[in-house]
Amino acid sequence: MNTQLRPALTIFALLTVITGVIYPLTVTGIAQLVFPNQANGSLITIDGKTYGSELIGQQFDDPKYFWGRLSATGTFPYNAFNAENLTASSGSNYGPLNPALIDAAQARVDALKAADPDNTLPIPVDLVTASGSGLDPHISVAAALYQVHRVASARGLSEADVVALVNQFTEGRQFGFLGEPCVNVLLLNLALDGIE
């Protein structure tokens, strides 16, 4: 028995050190050297203040800001900078015929109409539905353009100036052919506040 136990424990200890210590430290070190911004969460830090991540959507309710997609993470949307609200990524798991999903979409439609009653444009679907993770930082260009009137009115800006800002922050298709053009809500809102 001792002849089998000793080699098994030796291999267990060796593989634990390799896969549990050496490999993670090596991968972390390479990531920090080659992709430091991405390895640290793609944080947006300006003048020493961290505003969020380019990769995680944040909730905006004020009419002077562009609103992102609904968060399915509950009352407290994901906030990596607030340890008191331990939240995580999740979808609602509601099926397309579930009344709760329909009610949530209708509530968002009502909120959008109440915030901008003069807007007669059709409401883009991504403004009333959540992404699979509930953390999507992007909205479609149509969703951004739908909100231009409200944001311009709330800030006392011309709609042309706000549209120009939306165009400036529109990201093209990935690799030129994947997905659709989109707008990062946090970056756009920071630009509206003059923080970029």
pLDDT tens digits along 85-133:
545 555 666 777 888 888 888 888 998 999 899 998 999 998 888 777 7
Q: What pLDDT was estimated at residue 90?
A: 56
Q: Say which range, 37-46, 113-122, 143-152, 184-193, has the weakest mean pLDDT.
A: 37-46
Query: Residues, the chain, total?
Result: 196
- Which neighbouring-strand residues pair with 178? 174
CA angle 185, 189, 194 (to 5 degrees): 150
pTM attached to this predicted model:
0.75
Contact 135, 88 (CB under 8 A): no
Taking CB atoms within 8 Å and a gap of at least 24, the contacts of 15-19 are: none
